[in-house]
A and B are shown apart, each in its own frame.
Chain A
Amino acid sequence: MVKKLILLMIAMLVLAMANSTKAIAEEKIIKIDGSSTVYPVTEAVGEEFQKFKKGAIKVTVGISGTGGGFKKFCRGETDISNASRPILKSEMELCQQNGIEYIELPVAYDGLAVMVNPKNNWVDKMTVEELKKIWEPAAQGKITRWNQIRPEWPDAPLKLFGAGVDSGTFDYFTEAIVGKAKSSRGDYTSSEDDNVLVQGIAGDKYSLGYFGVAYYEENKDKLKLVPIVNPKTGKAVIPTMENVMDGSYQPLSRPIFIYVNFKSAERPEVKEFVEFYLKNAAKLVKEVKYIPLPAKAYELALERFSKRKKGTMFGGHQEVGLKIEDLLKREEKTK
């Protein structure tokens, strides 16, 4: 009797196992991974989308970083990849090897803010050249005092704080300021966690650092924004929502993207999600303290998606100081 029962149980377990593997294929899951900068936006959209669909479609979002996300994306493991910079040449090649095609869609702006301690009463604005003088590799061990940047500034030590070298923020800042991605001095406090940088700058009168604007918004009492001189207009600008949106806060603002797997986009749930994303981005982006693209840009992006335009608008490298509308009108390059 006992033996029969055990046999029956084993049979049921085997059946259950078989059923489980079958059911996986049927389930509607949208897998997203990638940049931690884009994460809050996609999280917000995912949350709203699941509420909207009443849980019929599941959305998962991971944080592997832009580079890590593309690795998974180009192996076909994810449907959508969050990216805080355009896809790179090497990543394009990887995708091509595996036959993965993609649609590139900008979803928001991210501004990088340069910050000093609130007790700092001498910095009124900074130019790109001054920032370059501080951050370029040649400055390592040499530019260590404030008066080396401008003679009238105090003869006091310069304490630097910046993004971790694996982040898209670091890539973009170095590209925009030094002129070459990942080219930076190494003798500063770097952290992947921007809250560490906030604490560092807040605790030292002679500090200077850079990170995403969202972190400034939450710590206004502890930090002071440095207006950055726009090299084209010569005007010193702070990264407010208006200034980033109209393109006057340059070169330290950039679009952030999602990359949609071309094959996944044929699945109705992914198609619906991406359309939901672009239609609701303007409102949700603001809620998570990021800067939305102009309404026209979302329309162009939606059009791009409905026409299923493959490839990237960039040539596998970063570009500084782009207007999003001009970008979307460009022809795509797939190679």
Chain B
Amino acid sequence: MRDKVKISKYLDAAFAITGLLFCLIGIGVIIILFVDLFMDGAPRLTLKFFSSFPSRFPDEAGILSAWVGSLLIMFITALAAIPVGVGAGIYLEEYAKKNWFTDFIEINIANLAGVPSIIYGLLALGIFVYMLGFGESILTGGLTLGLLILPIVIIATREAIRAIPQSIREASYACGATKWQTIRWHVLPYSMGGILTGIIIGLSRAIGETAPLVTIGALTFIAFLPSSPISSDFPFISFKWLFDSFTVLPVQIFNWVSRPQKGFHVNAAAASIVLMVMTLLMNGFAIYIRYRFRRKIRW
């Protein structure tokens, strides 16, 4: 008997160590990748690198059009995915009746989350570029990535809403609130942390996507910025930039990696650092938001 306990304890310790080892492998890979990138690309990370357009000379080339493109695309992506995703999540969790139709929708959303990103690119090429005639524009790019992260946002919203205890809703109803009032003043605020986390995780996936954007025609050489959203003529706001062509960081990196000159490979490493830092910042922001909202809620 005693031996058995001993063996079990050994096994327990062995499992803990194996688990730790696997954890370290994951972290180790990230650290090695980052250090390697940093050693290659860090010297290129000057202010000029951020403020120059692509060029045939590696030393003069920069990522201005790429990071501006990435940022604008992310803006449209967020604008498209957040209302639709959160709305769909609320409907499915709070309003929808359990029947074959909602089951069907649920299965489809789960499936969509696993569809390879290039498929979204092909879909967008057919619908946004040709059918709706948006062309190879920032609008198309943003909507495509919006579709891509929609399932992530929906699933995150539902998880967050599901975590709100039923008693909270009942208390609200007991005070005479309608369903919408309950959602607006109780369910949504309490689940905001989880929803925002999901949105940011989705966006940080979108920022690294290359395949769907290449499919819809993200260009590689653009030495100008999209037109300004503020114009000098009446009515002083312009949406022309929505229809401008674009490039994004991953596409720029992909292009530089495949060039023969060593200098471009260094540029690619530097641009990768920028992309990684952007992703890490977004993830860090998600963690911070979750922490803040959790602390604020006291039931």
Contacts and interface: CB of A to CB of B under 8 A. Distances in A.
Interface of A: 11-13, 15-17, 19-21, 23-24, 29, 31, 33, 36, 39-40, 42-44, 46-47, 50, 55, 58-64, 192-195, 212, 214-215, 217-219, 284, 287-289
A56 to B, nearest CB: 10
B225 to A, nearest CB: 10
Nearest to B241: A20
Nearest to A50: B223
B106 to A, nearest CB: 36
Contacts of A59: 221, 223
Contacts of B235: 11-13, 15-16, 19
Given A62-B217, A63-B255, A193-B257, 20 more contacts: A15-B234, A16-B235, A16-B238, A19-B231, A20-B239, A21-B243, A23-B240, A39-B221, A42-B221, A47-B56, A55-B224, A58-B224, A61-B219, A192-B258, A193-B258, A195-B257, A214-B260, A218-B262, A289-B260, A289-B261
Contacts of A212: 260
B219 to A, nearest CB: 4
12 contacts: A13-B237, A16-B239, A20-B238, A20-B239, A44-B56, A58-B223, A58-B224, A62-B219, A62-B220, A194-B258, A218-B260, A219-B260
B243 A19 contact: no
A282 B217 CA distance: 30
Q: Which 10 A-B pairs have the closest CB atoms?
A: A61-B221, A12-B235, A20-B240, A44-B56, A218-B260, A62-B219, A215-B260, A20-B239, A16-B237, A15-B235
Contact of B56 (A13, A63, A194, A287): A287
Contacts of A61: 219-221
Contact of A39 (B220, B237, B239, B242): B220
A109 B217 CA distance: 27
Contact of A217 (B243, B258, B260): B260
A195 B221 contact: no
Interface of B: 53-56, 217-224, 227, 231, 233-240, 242-243, 245, 255, 257-262, 265
A192 B255 CA distance: 12
Contacts of B243: 20-21, 24
Nearest to B242: A20
Nearest to A61: B221
B240 A24 contact: yes
A43 B219 contact: no
Given A43-B56, A218-B260, A60 B239 contact: no
A109 to B, nearest CB: 16
A13 B238 CA distance: 8
Nearest to B261: A218
Nearest to B259: A40
Contact of B219 (A60, A214, A284): A60
